[in-house]
Copies of this chain bind each other. A is one copy, B any other.
Amino acid sequence: MEYSSKLIEEAVNEIARLPGIGKKTALRLALHLLRQPESQTEALSESLLNLRNKIRYCTVCQNISDDELCRICSSTRRDRSIICLVEDTRDVLAIENTSQFNGLYHVLGGVISPIEGIGPSDLHIDALVSRLEDHKGEVNEVILALSPTMEGDTTAFYLMKRLKPFGLKISTIARGIPIGGELEYADEITLGRSIQTRTLYQQD
C-alpha cells in the first residue's frame, strides 16, 4: 500500500508489528489518533515508554512490579503460608480477578517446552526453591495453577519432584477448565471454583 505521507506509513508499520493487528487495523487506529486531541497520543506514548523503561520484576515472586517488591508481596493482608505458581502475569491478574485467593504468587515465566527449547533453567524455578528455603516453616502449601496442556503437565511433574524435599502440601487447581484451553481466557466463576476445589497433586 502506498501512503501519501511518510509519517502515517511509519506509524502504520510500527502499530502493525503488534500481534493480531494488520495494516488495515493499524491505519484505522492511526487515523483515529489524528482525530483525537494531541494529549491522547501523548498520554499513550508516554505510558508505553514508562512501562517499558521503568517496569521491574518483583525480587520475590518475579511478577511485574513498580518497585523491588510487588503490591501483592508487600501487602500485609496476604496469607504468606500459601504460594500459587503461575506461568505469567496475565494468570496472576486472572486469579486476582476471581477474589478467591489471598495467598502469594510465584511467576515461572513460562512452562517447560522442549519443542520451543524452554528448559527448567529458563524458568524462575531456582528462585522458587531459594524462596522456599528462605521461608522454611512459613510456607505450607503450593498450588500449581498451570494451563492444562502437555507443557503445563510436564512442568507440574518437574516441579513436583523439585518441591518434594520440602514436604509441602502440593495441590493443583481443579480441572474444570477445558483441556487444551488457556488459563487467562477462562471465565471468572470457573477459574474461581477451580481454585476452591483444588486437589492434592498425585504423582503416579
Q: What size tier do the contact residues of chain A reach?
A: 35 or more
Interface centre among A5, A10, A55 (most CB of B within 10 A): A5
What is the distance, in angstroms, from A63's C-beta to the closest C-beta of chain B? 5
Residue A76 CB within 8 A of the other chain: no
| Cβ-closest chain B residue relative to A3 | B93
Chain B residues contacting A11 (CB-CB under 8 Å) are 47-48, 50-51
What is the distance, in angstroms, from A95's C-beta to the closest C-beta of chain B? 11
Task: Assess whether A18 is in contact with B47, with CB atoms less than 8 Å apart.
Answer: no
Q: List residues 46-70 of chain A with CB under 8 A from any CB of chain B.
A: 46-55, 58, 63-66, 70
Task: Assess whether B19 is in contact with A51, with CB atoms less than 8 Å apart.
Answer: no
Among B20, B32, B97, contact of A18 (Cβ-Cβ < 8 Å): B32
Interface centre among A17, A27, A47 (most CB of B within 10 A): A47
Residue A14 CB within 8 A of the other chain: yes
Complex Cα spacing A6 to B19, Å: 23
Among B34, B48, B52, contact of A52 (Cβ-Cβ < 8 Å): B34
Residue A146 CB within 8 A of the other chain: no
Among B17, B25, B31, B49, contact of A45 (Cβ-Cβ < 8 Å): B49
Residue A92 CB within 8 A of the other chain: yes
Among B19, B30, B47, B72, contact of A28 (Cβ-Cβ < 8 Å): B19
Task: Assess whether A18 is in contact with B8, with CB atoms less than 8 Å apart.
Answer: no
Residues of A within 8 A of B (CB): 1-8, 10-11, 13-15, 17-20, 24-25, 27-34, 38, 40-55, 58, 63-66, 70-72, 88-90, 92-93, 96-97, 184
